[in-house]
Amino acid sequence: MKLLFKQRFFSWFDSYDIYDEAGNTLFTVEGKLSWGHCLHILDKNGVHVGTVKEEIFTFLPTFELYEGEQYIGRIKKEFSFFKPSFCMECGDWSVKGDWFEWDYEITDPRGTVAVVSKELFQFTDTYVIDLNDPRDALHALMVVLAIDAEKCSRD
């Protein structure tokens, strides 16, 4: 299953639309006014299904992940040279990427969960998330949102 993650061109806060391969909207993401990034994920019916919230006052960028209102863990950028690395402090996922953080892979002990690649030459941030299991869509989306928010904060 592939998801197309596309940032909206005109928005005051971080806003994204996530489509399936047929162009159907699966999720919308709305940025909320807060200290640090706070991204609410809504399903295709407008029901709140998740939140990615940046922790402030941390040495390295850290994001809390919530499924609905339930805390499920966090993703934290690890100190590294050249290749970015993120530690998932929930479940057994890990993230390894390229130098620009445009292409990366989410893995677990069984293998690849998702491959994420950025489409170049677009007006807004656009990513393709290639999932092995559609049930991982929400959590993979949370990882991509956290990494994109970290890049935006740094830039």
Count of domains observed in the chain: 1
In this structure, the number of other CB atoms found within 10 A of the CB of residue 151 comes to 17
Residue 85 located in a structural domain: no
DSSP per-residue codes, 1-23: -EEEEEE-SS-SS-EEEEE-TTS
Residue 19 located in a structural domain: yes
Residue 128 located in a structural domain: yes
Average pLDDT, the chain: 84
Q: Provide the domain limits for residue 16.
A: 2-76+119-154
Question: 127-155 pLDDT, tens per residue?
Answer: 899 999 999 999 999 998 988 887 765 54
Residue 98 located in a structural domain: no
Model confidence at 117, pLDDT cuts 50, 70, 90, reads very high
Residue 91 located in a structural domain: no
Residue 11 located in a structural domain: yes
Does this model's pTM top 0.95? no
Residue 97 located in a structural domain: no
**Do strands 126-131 and 2-7 pair parallel, antiparallel, or not at all (unpaired)?**
antiparallel
Residue 24 located in a structural domain: yes
Model confidence at 87, pLDDT cuts 50, 70, 90, reads confident
